[in-house]
Amino acid sequence: MSNKPTLKYILKKAFNIFHINPAQDEIIKGIGEHNKYLVSGPKYELIDEVSIAQLASLGRQSIIISNSIDDMMDICHKLSEANIFATYIHGQLSDSEINQRLEAFRAKNVSLLFVTPDKAAKSDVLMSAIDVQFSVTIVILNSEKFPHDHLHYSTIYDELFCHIYAIEVELSKLRNCSFECNKLYIGYTLTKQQITEIIQRQRLHNAHYSILNYAFGHLVLESICVKNTSAMLRECAHICSSTQTKSIVVVSDKKAGESFYNELCKHKECISILANPSSQEAAEAIAKFKNLKSGILISNRYSNIVDSGAETVILAQLPLSASHLCSIMGAGNIHTGSIKNVYVLQREDVSFNHAVYELNCKFPTLESFELVIKALLESQTMELDKSFIFKTAKDYGLPAQTVFRVMDKLSSLSFLKKTVYFEHGFQAKYHILNLNRKLPSSINYVNSSVNSQLGDLNRILQLHACKVQALNSLIGTTNEVRCGKCSVCQNSTPGISRWKNRVSSGNVSDEQYKSQVKPISNQKSHQLYRNPYTSLSTQNNVEDYNDRPTNSLSRNRIPTVNLNLNDPIETQLCIIRKTVAKRLNIPEMSVFNDKTLKIISQSKPKSIHELNTINEFYGSQRSSVFGKEIIKIFNRK
């Protein structure tokens, strides 16, 4: 192109970006100065759009590898408005259409070529697109699929790297000199450790990389522990009805979504996209939701968070990793990032245990591999099919999904040979090659590493501190600013519940708010989950029990209990109560009252599970905050 469009023109015309912030400016300079560049940052910073615009303005022929066909088509359409010609290739195109688009790219009539990862790794598209006469820049979106310890890791990206390396070796022979493609890796929520691993594994030792500061300071992240599904429904209804903006509720499955839909319809206009099988119906539902000023969208897909444009996100299931949670918080609307509040609802340890179960299904442990190999040896047959998988799952108490994963991994390690065929649907047969080989020592690395990430996330969600700041620290950013809005950060005077103003209701007064929203059932029970340090009898203005008048006739008065200060156990419990109250800056009776102290002394709990059987601890966060200090008393010999 003789008259190349400028970067500002492309950003403005194609992506409606009128102002470049410092983080985006750093990326623009990095792409212009470095042949190898790795970027990680939140999606609302539009790092992929800015990077593509910079490549187009520099006139570089670029192959962009993306796993979303819809995104390919959308970006190509936007670039055409800025007179930038781009096209895309995916598996649904015929060979003639693919050849035509490759010819246009080689002739430089098209400057940007989008390709899906499977088409790039398992065909000759890249070899045909990369000409001997000129070099191209390869852009790989979703680079978090590279590090093994990331839950979004995909083996197709390993195959893609090997394919690109083989092309570079071939072109080096044709050119009689060393040849290497320019590369640009773009990821979301990659930690410094994962970026270092990508650089080492992909031999990018001289690569320049940048981590955008995750601007989580304007977001509120709260985690709320409940004891059952009914309590989760009430908590979700309270959050949705308290905010005057749009909310999206992400549930685990269709069955759970129907329960949420029936409850939330009582409070606001609610739209569900669980029952919409086709993408067109889902798109129509999201378009309808965007026209609402205030409403609730229920979905079982995280991808709909970005499309909904909602300000409040409620996750009724535990995310699988801290990076996953960061990507959710980093999602938002095209320009500013629409998400303002993120709430994670947990059912005590149920959500965490379910996440561990899914983790073990996706990344089997070394013990799972050994059990499957043992079953293979005991079968005494050379040819196996899916019936063996279900039999092994039943006999050894393993999830069938775990056995599937192990068999696939064993076939990739040449323990087995896998043959795929289509007969009444997708089928696979396995032929035993050699089971006497030793498993590699690194086979358990992924499971242990991701399990550690999951544990870090669980600790963050249970932490009595600013969770936004803790999340920033975990992923390695330098942003130490507190959000200032969560239950911990907000400035509250002593004696007032920290969780009173946890959900902002805008500029609406309490009287106007009460008249606008419908009352929530079991409001008294609901208070326990709004404030884990307050008993059911405590009101919004928490008073110290010791300062109450003795002649109070309030029904909520805590019954008088005489403590035996000569009892060493009760004395130690009193000391713990006083220490925790001072540490959390709350009244002593909000930690636990005298009656509960007596119950603890008599029941002598020796584990968190036994402690949670006590009424005041059940369904609250007391056990996770100071439970270990209590059970330590009874575990001493």
Whether the predicted pLDDT of 371 surpasses 90:
yes
Average pLDDT score, the chain: 79
Position 184 pLDDT exceeds 50: yes
Is the pLDDT at 197 greater than 50? The verdict is yes
Locate 192 and state its tokens: 């410094």
Return the ∠ at Cα 524 (arms to 522 and 525), rounded to 5°. Answer: 70
> How many whole angstroms separate alpha carbon 198 and alpha carbon 105?
29
Q: Which residue has the tokens 């696939």?
A: 408
Alpha-carbon distance 426 to 473, whole Å?
45
Instruction: State the sign of the Cα–Cα–Cα–Cα dihedral 540, 545, 548, 551.
Output: positive
Q: Mean of the pLDDT values across residues 336-353?
A: 81
Q: Residue 133: what pLDDT?
A: 64
Residue 318 has pLDDT above 90, yes or no: no
User: Cβ(558)–Cβ(595) under 8 Å?
Assistant: yes
Q: Which residue has the higher pLDDT, 634 or 555?
A: 634
The one-letter amino acid at 211 = I
Q: pLDDT grade, residue 432 (50/70/90)? A: very high
pLDDT at 447: 85
**pLDDT computed for residue 534 by the predictor:** 36
Model pLDDT for residues 473-485, shown as the tens digit of each residue? 777 766 566 776 7
pLDDT computed for residue 244 by the predictor: 81
Angle, helices 229-242 vs 254-264, to 10°: value is 50
Helices 47-58 and 69-80 cross at an angle (nearest 10°) of 50
pLDDT tens for 388-429 read 999 999 999 899 999 999 998 899 888 999 888 876 667 888
- Within 13 A of 146's CA, how many CA atoms are on the CB side? 28
Closest CA to 317 of 288, 353, 339, 346: 346
Q: How far apart are CA 54 and CA 4, in angstroms?
A: 12
- 535-634 has which fold? DNA polymerase; domain 1 (1.10.150)
Average the pLDDT over 148-158 and give the result. Answer: 81
Ordered by start, the domain boundaries in the chain are 7-211, 214-348+467-531, 357-439, 535-634
**What are the tens digits of pLDDT across the range 554-589?**
334 445 567 776 788 888 888 888 888 888 878 888
Burial of 349 (0-12, 13-18, 19+ CB in 10 A): middle
Of the listed ranges 287-291, 295-299, 346-350, 526-530, the one predicted with least confidence: 526-530
Check: CB of residue 384 under 8 Å from CB of residue 429: yes
Q: How confident is the model at residue 443 (pLDDT cuts 50, 70, 90)?
A: confident
**pLDDT score of 491:** 47
Q: What is the pLDDT of residues 538-549, one digit of tens each?
A: 333 333 333 434
pLDDT-derived band at 214 (thresholds 50, 70, 90) equals: low
Do 214-348+467-531 and 357-439 fold alike per CATH? Answer: no
**More confident: 261 or 464:** 261
Q: What is the mean pLDDT of residues 184-195?
A: 84
pLDDT attached to residue 532: 40
Q: Which CATH architecture has domain 214-348+467-531?
A: 3-Layer(aba) Sandwich (3.40)
pLDDT in tens, 291-311: 888 899 999 888 788 778 888
Which of 107-116, 197-206, 606-615 has the largest mean confidence?
Answer: 107-116
**CATH code for the structural domain at 7-211:** 3.40.50.300
3-state secondary structure of 147: coil
Low-confidence winner among 36-45, 239-248, 321-330 (lowest mean pLDDT): 321-330
Q: How sure is the predictor about 551, in pLDDT bands with cuts at 50, 70 and 90?
A: very low
- State how far the Cα of 571 lies from the Cα of 573, in Å rounded to an integer: 5
Question: With 80 as the cut, is the pLDDT of residue 386 above it?
Answer: yes
Question: What's the fold here for domain 357-439?
Answer: Arc Repressor Mutant, subunit A (1.10.10)
Give the closest residue to 56 by CA, choosing from 37, 34, 31: 31
